[in-house]
Chain A
Amino acid sequence: MKTIQTQIPEQVYKKAIALVREGWFRDEKEIFSEAIRRFLDTHRPELMEKFIRDDVEWGLHGGD
């Protein structure tokens, strides 16, 4: 496991802590780790590249 140090908005942190207090997660680290994993799942490089390439085609040759 890699340890990182970062800053997050106070409100986000409070919401994460509330989830831990309510017993939905072991600790805030688990929440942030899960959040990053999900973010990475939906930001795959090949997908982002596809979107940009679609934009290029539309921009240069779209019919609107």
Chain B
Amino acid sequence: MTSNGAFTVVIKSTLRAVCDAGPIIHLDELNCLDLLIDFQEILLCDRVWKEVRRYRPLALKDSDLSFTLLPGGIPGNLPLLTMCQIFMLDAGETETLSLMEKNPQAIFLTDDASARLVAEQMGFKVHGTIGILLRSIRRRQRKPEEVIQILIDIPLKSTLYIKSSLLGEIILRTKGEFDL
């Protein structure tokens, strides 16, 4: 609710997301898994589902999020399959990219550099945990101060590894953007 008593309605994004295990695990570690609610649909392959269930069993159980589980399979596109092999992507990443192949308009969420490189080469739109966190300000899911605190907490609370100087730069940039 705004200061004049009016409600601000934020319409859910029309974006569909195909998600690798990394962002789900990292967002859950940071108590931010709810940020994915903003996406129209979140597609997961079986293998990623199992990986998340293994590392963060409560993430999928307690969450209000609904995931669409789909069989991943091997990419039918030969260049994509070859790149997955050259870049030694694991089975979860390969199956997730196979889902992207079938849903090319979706956004691919991953924190793995190799998977991201392959996805970008295929022309897919790709982002990771940092992008989702910062996007939550723009999408009015979190206040800038909250996101800055979450960014500060990353080395302490999550297994997302990011160079400390770069993280510091991102925090400063975010503060600057919102005059904090």
Contacts and interface: CB of A to CB of B under 8 A. Distances in A.
B47 to A, nearest CB: 15
A20 B141 CA distance: 52
Interface stretch (B60-68, B74-82, B95-103, B130-138): B130-138
Interface in B134-165: 134-135, 137-138, 162-163
Contacts, number: 66
Contacts of A30: none
A42 interface: yes
Interface in A8-36: 35
Nearest to B39: A64
B132 A59 contact: yes
Interface in A28-56: 35, 38-39, 42-43, 45, 47-49, 51-52, 54-56
A55 B128 contact: yes
Given A59-B138, A64-B13, A51 B170 contact: no
Given A49-B166, A51-B128, A64-B15, A58 B135 contact: yes
A26 B51 CA distance: 33
B177 interface: yes
A3 B138 CA distance: 48
Question: Which has the most chain A C-beta neighbours within 10 Å: B87, B116, B174?
Answer: B116
Q: Is the interface of B mostly helix, strand, loop or mixed?
A: helix
Given A49-B163, A52-B130, A56-B173, A62 B113 contact: no
Question: What is the interface residue range for chain B against chain A?
Answer: 20 to 34
B131 A55 contact: yes
Contacts of B70: none
Interface in B1-42: 13-15
B53 interface: no
Contacts of B88: 35, 38-39, 42
A43 B131 contact: no
A60 interface: yes
Given A49-B166, A59-B132, A59-B135, 8 more contacts: A42-B113, A52-B128, A52-B166, A54-B127, A58-B131, A59-B137, A60-B135, A60-B177
Interface of B: 13-15, 87-88, 107, 113-114, 116-117, 126-128, 130-135, 137-138, 162-163, 166, 170, 173-174, 177
